[in-house]
Amino acid sequence: MGRSVLVVGGGGREHALAWRLAASPSVDRVVSAPGNPGMAQLGPTVPVDTGDPDAVADLAEGQSSDLVVIGPEAPLVAGAVDALQARDIPAFGPVAAAAYLEGSKAFAKGIMEAAGAPTAGYLATSEVEQAYAALDRFAPPYVVKADGLAAGKGVRICEDLADARAAVDDALVHRRFGDAGAQLVIEEFLHGPERSVFGVCDGQDVVLLTPAQDYKRAHDGDAGPNTGGMGAYAPVPGFGRDDITELRELIFLPVLRELASRGAPYRGLLYAGLVQTSDGPKLLEFNARFGDPETQAILPLLASDLGDLLAASASGAVRDVEVTWHDRAAVTVVLASGGYPGSYTTGKPITGVDDADTRPEVTVFHAGTGQADGEGLVTAGGRVLNVTAVGDDVEAARRSAYAATDLIGFDGLHRRSDIAAGV
């Protein structure tokens, strides 16, 4: 008998995880909590307060789950995996003490430093005068980061010193981010292209996944405000699995050793955000979960069993799992609500998803959708749908993905038109 897997979360990343798990020979059943209308096509969806570790553990027990896969960072930082481990339920994701890598930028910098992993020079402080003094040590542009989780709004890049000081005041004096900004990290600006590298970790060892390129800005040509991500493609020419093997020794293994020595071995997905500088790769940040929407472009390329890999991360050795990939490319285009990442309205009827999804090379992942009585599928979030296509190369995948987006409509739909262009 195959596994029964519970996927916690309800965005595009979780839909992609549930979709790939449902297609894994080792998996018989996928339950999603809370899930979304797309995930509901793969198995039961059950409401849960994802921020309540005991509620997650109660649900997993009630569902007799053999494996729980936690998608977003908030349940991890709240201790969902700790609660599951206490009941001997295998869980994919780090315990809270290890997820603190994403929960606190100062903690992450301390781990990078102790592990000897390359990163930007920095100072962490909760004192205004010390923060000002740190700014004087660096050249513009200045980087001022709230220590804690600030819903993606905690990082300010400032061209001049007056703005940087104002950013310090906002956080430390005006408490704009509440406790998340009670401590700041001031750091050196890193020049170069940004890359995200995902490692599936088992506490000691790591398997690196095919890297994807994310598009963070809202508008074409990398203009407009930062978003959670407007699209992605994989693989990235010149930055494939063979090109990143050095990152195992340089970053992942020393960081795993450091966390294990502190009694918080890291299991789950370790996301390293890097800048390729002229001095080599340097770490910007860690995340404790899969990237969104990068995952939606990576998982369609995975040929081997995702259930086996995630289960090995939870309670086995990832090096014992055979991980293979299709020699193809994937492109994901995010369809967003007009106004995102600022304010937007929801409840708009969505048309054409089935037409797009039935194309053999296309999968439409639901990110912010809902079912409304009498209306069918409606928008329910900023990032609404993630249209993914695979092809023989990035250009073929890109053409298929965009052709499929043309079949889908809702009032105010916004998408970038340059995802994976010119790759």
Q: Which residues bind ligand AMP (CB under 6 A)?
A: 120, 143, 145, 155, 157, 187, 189-190, 194, 273, 284-285
Closer Cβ to ligand GLY, 40 or 157, answer by number: 157
Helix (H, G, I), strand (E, B) or coil at 268: strand
- Minimal distance in Å, beta carbon 290 to ligand GLY? 7
Closer Cβ to ligand AMP, 101 or 408, answer by number: 101
- Minimal distance in Å, beta carbon 319 to ligand GLY? 26
- Minimal distance in Å, beta carbon 60 to ligand GLY? 24
Closer Cβ to ligand AMP, 35 or 72, answer by number: 72
Structure-token match 């839909």, residue found: 15
Helix (H, G, I), strand (E, B) or coil at 243: helix
Residue 148 binds which entry of ligand GLY, ligand AMP, none, with Cβ cut-offs from 5 to 8 Å by kind?
none
- Minimal distance in Å, beta carbon 26 to ligand GLY? 26
Sign of torsion, CA 321 309 238 404?
A: positive
- Minimal distance in Å, beta carbon 285 to ligand GLY? 9
Residue 291 binds which entry of ligand GLY, ligand AMP, none, with Cβ cut-offs from 5 to 8 Å by kind?
ligand GLY
Residues forming the site for ligand GLY (CB under 6 A): 214, 228-229, 287, 291-292, 294
CA distances, 318 to each of 22, 202, 223, 289 (Å): 20, 6, 39, 17
- Minimal distance in Å, beta carbon 194 to ligand AMP? 6
Complete DSSP assignment for 47-89 = ---TT-HHHHHHHHHHTT-SEEEE-SHHHHHHTHHHHHHHTT-
Residue 229 binds which entry of ligand GLY, ligand AMP, none, with Cβ cut-offs from 5 to 8 Å by kind?
ligand GLY
CA dihedral 295, 299, 344, 405 (to 10 degrees): 140
Distance CA 414, CA 148 (A): 30
Residue 308 binds which entry of ligand GLY, ligand AMP, none, with Cβ cut-offs from 5 to 8 Å by kind?
none
Closer Cβ to ligand GLY, 3 or 13, answer by number: 13
Distance CA 39, CA 352 (A): 17
**DSSP strand E in 1-148: where?**
3-9, 27-34, 67-70, 91-92, 122-125, 142-146
DSSP 300: G
Q: Of all helices (H) and strands (E), which one includes residue 168?
A: helix 161-172
- Minimal distance in Å, beta carbon 272 to ligand AMP? 11
CA dihedral 113, 117, 121, 123 (to 10 degrees): -30
- Count each helix (H run) and each strand (E run) in the chain, helices first: 14, 21
Closer Cβ to ligand GLY, 37 or 229, answer by number: 229
Residue 143 binds which entry of ligand GLY, ligand AMP, none, with Cβ cut-offs from 5 to 8 Å by kind?
ligand AMP
Residue 361 binds which entry of ligand AMP, ligand GLY, none, with Cβ cut-offs from 5 to 8 Å by kind?
none
Distance CA 47, CA 68 (A): 15
Single-letter amino acid code for the residue at 399:
R
Residue 325 binds which entry of ligand GLY, ligand AMP, none, with Cβ cut-offs from 5 to 8 Å by kind?
none
Closer Cβ to ligand AMP, 46 or 155, answer by number: 155
- Minimal distance in Å, beta carbon 316 to ligand GLY? 26
Closer Cβ to ligand AMP, 190 or 331, answer by number: 190
Residue 287 binds which entry of ligand AMP, ligand GLY, none, with Cβ cut-offs from 5 to 8 Å by kind?
ligand GLY
Distance CA 43, CA 60 (A): 15
- Minimal distance in Å, beta carbon 155 to ligand GLY? 12
Radius of gyration, CA atoms only, the chain: 21
DSSP 277: E
- Minimal distance in Å, beta carbon 280 to ligand GLY? 22
Distance CA 340, CA 334 (A): 11
Taking Cα atoms as reference points, which of 209, 397, 196 lies closest to residue 291?
A: 196
Closer Cβ to ligand GLY, 311 or 336, answer by number: 336
Closer Cβ to ligand GLY, 159 or 194, answer by number: 194
DSSP 264: -
Closer Cβ to ligand AMP, 15 or 289, answer by number: 289
Residue 292 binds which entry of ligand GLY, ligand AMP, none, with Cβ cut-offs from 5 to 8 Å by kind?
ligand GLY
